[in-house]
Structure 1
């Protein structure tokens, strides 16, 4: 069955927030709820109703997101929740289909999201487009290689994050285009990044900041919290939880990591970082980095032709792609992608296909993480011309690896 569905206005925020709190099983403190409300674009919300009861919600952020070769307007899907009383009734499917149609109407050829559960969004055409390392480094195993980069003009400074916000924002803006998946932050997103109320700490310290700077200004920063701990013999056993580390150059990156890893009264550092994190190359013994691997950003091509033509490619490719897409039927069919390192075009085709792919496979490869050959080996796509998948995978590959870096 179908239910009434529409955007909400600001006066309905308590109901919208209440659905999310029930769906996710959390209780949002009032100040945090107001922060999330300030981030919300109410004309991009959707709520599903069963009579007068709001039973499902979702929203979209209007992002400028980095993709291989540049930036695109991307619909950042967020705040997806359905009341447990209304699961298995098609509420989520109705919201996702309507939302994708709205994103298309807005002129955004790509949608992206963080998945609360990795089994949900593949059926709506999203593919796992980036991955993250969740790692721990014990301080005793954190020595650097002898030729780690250094710059004597750099100096470290401890600062209150709120006091140096302008410098942090400028540094982030200067590096946001360097890695696919990163997105520009509004004032409200920075308010959330630097929020430091008790509910944001989760039992850790207040938010702290280390700057790497020279006479020209900030060249990098690290945001972190510390969990103070002492063992039964009163020996310090603290943990440093890294929130962000951004740098404009290798020397600033190395200096910030060294300051994080050398912190007094701390024996281990925990972080979520990209799979090609430079620290791995800096460690003299990289086995000391104990890492777990998890999905990060999920991407959906809302308009296949516009999305594929808008990004850059690492090698020439000329391939006819048959796309399977039963959620966005305007994508279904055959498309000829012709691209090289100078540009690309993607147009409807009548030729026999070289490969047949679900649209989620293109989403998984879009940011450059190169999963097409893996999907072929798993039997998730079909190759009609030998070598076509490898050629497309090579062309769509990109370095550095994609990584968004902040849940939205």
Structure 2
């Protein structure tokens, strides 16, 4: 197959969406097409063409993402799709390889994505770096523990989401630096979050919001929809679907959850994405009633190992020589000496020094945000140790609290 790659333009957009819909087997509503177009960086898109036919696409968002220790430019990979007629013909490999090279040339050391299928992206050096929980909470079993935090100075205010956007933005900005994986939101992305078209509602009613505040200003917010319902026995069976919830302190956080769990005529609260260390697990008196499930969330790829490892902070001192296996980005392959402490890090080529441990680049990416221990991969036989204790030393140093979580699919 004769394949050519080039950036896509606005004139290609309709065909691009057609490829995306065919690959994912979905139909993107017209207003969602426009919202996605608004956030698209066409110069960072890439199309694969067989002759004049567009057969595969991918794109990148330019993010500022929180990593352990602070913000970092990160390439947010999105819209990866290949026509079903052209699978297993090298289209995806060509796109992903070219994209990694472009990301490196742009100066970004880290790429991130959400995986439609978990088995795909390890082949391209991405590692499972963050997970999320989903909840299905019966409200009649949602009492809090006796000493749940409270603050009498806090008050709740019901708001219209479109009119309270500046409040949401202020709260989110305050929360941004606290958790690895969160990324700064552009005005266009907020437009998508607050979109309330009928297709966005999915039968669950209009977007609703509540703000918690005190005399100093907003301390948190929750966005949600409510699908009303009633049983054959005339008892309420409404379902609240939480979109997102941020509280800037324990009391504000607890008050928001109490509001969500105490809404009249609601019998269940469903939550699709929450961090694996969500404090709600400690607040609920009977945590089994969270009915929690666990899924992979963010996948991380170290595009430039040297700069990526030097660009984050570490939880403990570490001095190791790491041998990295990376066939797709040969500039990463080899031995690197990482010397780091809680205040800074240095990563340089190790020359002829003996490696303390050896691992694939995907596992280094999985550990990068601090939420995936390397010792587990070692127990699985995927990380090889030459110096006793080296894997634990590196794993401890790379660990971070709170756990990584993005919370908003891109």
TM range (shorter): over 0.9
213-222 or 45-54: bigger deviation: 213-222
Cα deviation digits, residues 229-263 of structure 1 (max 9, x gap) = 21111111111111000111111100000000001
Pairing of 1:214-293 with structure 2 (within 5 A): 214-271=214-271, 272-293=273-294
**Partner SS, residue 153 of structure 2:** coil
87-96 or 207-216: bigger deviation: 207-216
Alignment pair present for 1:50 and 2:47: no
1:368 and 1:402 in contact (8 A); partners too: yes
1:2 and 1:90 in contact (8 A); partners too: no
Pairing of 1:5-404 with structure 2 (within 5 A): 5-271=5-271, 272-349=273-350, 350-404=352-406
370-379 or 305-314: bigger deviation: 370-379
1:6 and 1:46 in contact (8 A); partners too: yes
Q: 1:217 to 1:284 in 2, by over 3 A?
A: same
Q: How many residue pairs align between the two structures? A: 408
Q: 1:2 to 1:348 in 2, by over 3 A?
A: farther
**Within 2, Cα distance between the matches of 1:371 and 1:297?**
15
**Within 1, Cα distance between the matches of 2:234 and 2:381?**
56
Give the C-alpha shift of residue 316 in structure 1. Answer: 0.5
2:2 and 2:51 in contact (8 A); partners too: no
Give the C-alpha shift of residue 2 in structure 1. Answer: 5.5
1:171 and 1:219 in contact (8 A); partners too: yes
Structure 2: gaps spanning 5 or more residues: none
Structure 1: gaps spanning 5 or more residues: none
Give the C-alpha shift of residue 52 in structure 1. Answer: 0.9
**Within 2, Cα distance between the matches of 1:203 and 1:374?**
42
Give the C-alpha shift of residue 384 in structure 1. Answer: 1.1
1:127 and 1:300 in contact (8 A); partners too: yes
Give the C-alpha shift of residue 145 in structure 1. Answer: 1.2
Cα deviation digits, residues 310-339 of structure 1 (max 9, x gap) = 100000111100000001000000000011
1:19 and 1:82 in contact (8 A); partners too: yes
**Within 2, Cα distance between the matches of 1:152 and 1:326?**
58
Q: Which runs of 4+ in 1 moved over 3 A?
A: none
2:208 and 2:224 in contact (8 A); partners too: yes
Give the C-alpha shift of residue 141 in structure 1. Answer: 1.4
Give the C-alpha shift of residue 11 in structure 1. Answer: 1.5
2:2 and 2:50 in contact (8 A); partners too: no
TM-score by length of 2: 0.98
After superposition, the CA RMSD in angstroms is 0.8
2:226 and 2:238 in contact (8 A); partners too: yes
**Partner SS, residue 331 of structure 2:** helix
TM-score by length of 1: 0.99
**Within 2, Cα distance between the matches of 1:52 and 1:353?**
48
Give the C-alpha shift of residue 266 in structure 1. Answer: 0.7
1:127 and 1:363 in contact (8 A); partners too: yes
1:370 and 1:394 in contact (8 A); partners too: no
**Partner SS, residue 315 of structure 1:** coil
